[in-house]
Structure 1
């Protein structure tokens, strides 16, 4: 576990290990990460089974609290190729506490660097900003 001198944020080793499993073994459809503000550490809040849907993913993000998440999106190209892209979602709803939004914003780049293999980043303040249409458009 390493602390970041800039934001003082630590990243639990599990975050990287489970992300590598998602990327290499496809053990998970998504991972939701939460900052524990008391100990200034990012940890895993929820692991989504491979058979869970995008709706399951969006439902696991709290309506009024910030989170980081990764989602493994499978799709078929126009040439009929099966592909997958790993999305990093910075979820920061308008109703979240200002301090929490600032903490997530200031720690995001550092945390994202720990997860090697993210292809697309999405920032969302409400569910419409991360609809399946947007995900599909960004993936292609």
Structure 2
């Protein structure tokens, strides 16, 4: 699989798959959500899970790991720092993000919170 990379602020590279998946979700509406992850060994930001057209909020919650970032209370401090500092690089690589919900606890990403944010 060939990948083109863009530099994120922390030295992590954002894979072309991230951008392609986001554009497919944005323009073609083929994905309901995308969960990204950092591969520390490879120093890349990559796609972890893509939600299909029939998947919803509960599927998104189930796709988030309980012991790594994207579930911060159980995450390692180093991982929290990597995710926090890589977020801006990913956001810049994905053209057209209008809303952002940052949750440091699962209760901060409830469906009601997300609905209120995107109104």
* TM norm structure 1: 0.78
Shift of 1:124: 1.0
Q: Equivalent residue for 2:43?
A: 40
Assess if the C-alpha contact under 8 Å between 1:92 and 1:123 holds in 2. no
Counterpart of 2:73 in 1: which secondary structure?
coil
Please identify which structure carries the higher strand content: 1
SS at match of 1:123: coil
Choose the corresponding residue for 1:108, options 78, 87, 97. Answer: 87
Give the alignment's Cα RMSD to 1 decimal.
1.2
Counterpart of 2:114 in 1: which secondary structure?
helix
Cα drift, residue 127 of structure 1: 1.6
Gaps of 5+ in 2: none
**Partners of 1:29 and 1:54 in 2: CA distance:** 9
What TM-score do you get using the length of structure 2 for normalisation?
A: 0.91
Higher relative contact order (CA 8 A, sep 6+): 2
Q: Does 1:20 align with 2:26?
A: no
Q: Is 1:123 aligned to residue 102 of structure 2?
A: yes
Q: Deviations over 1:3-59 (max 9, x none)?
A: 34x411101101001100000000100111110000110111111101101111111
- Unmatched segments (≥5 aa) in structure 1: 67-90
Please say which of residues 123-132 and 26-35 is displaced more in the overlay: 123-132
Distance 2:71 2:81 in 1: 9
**Rg: which structure is higher?**
1
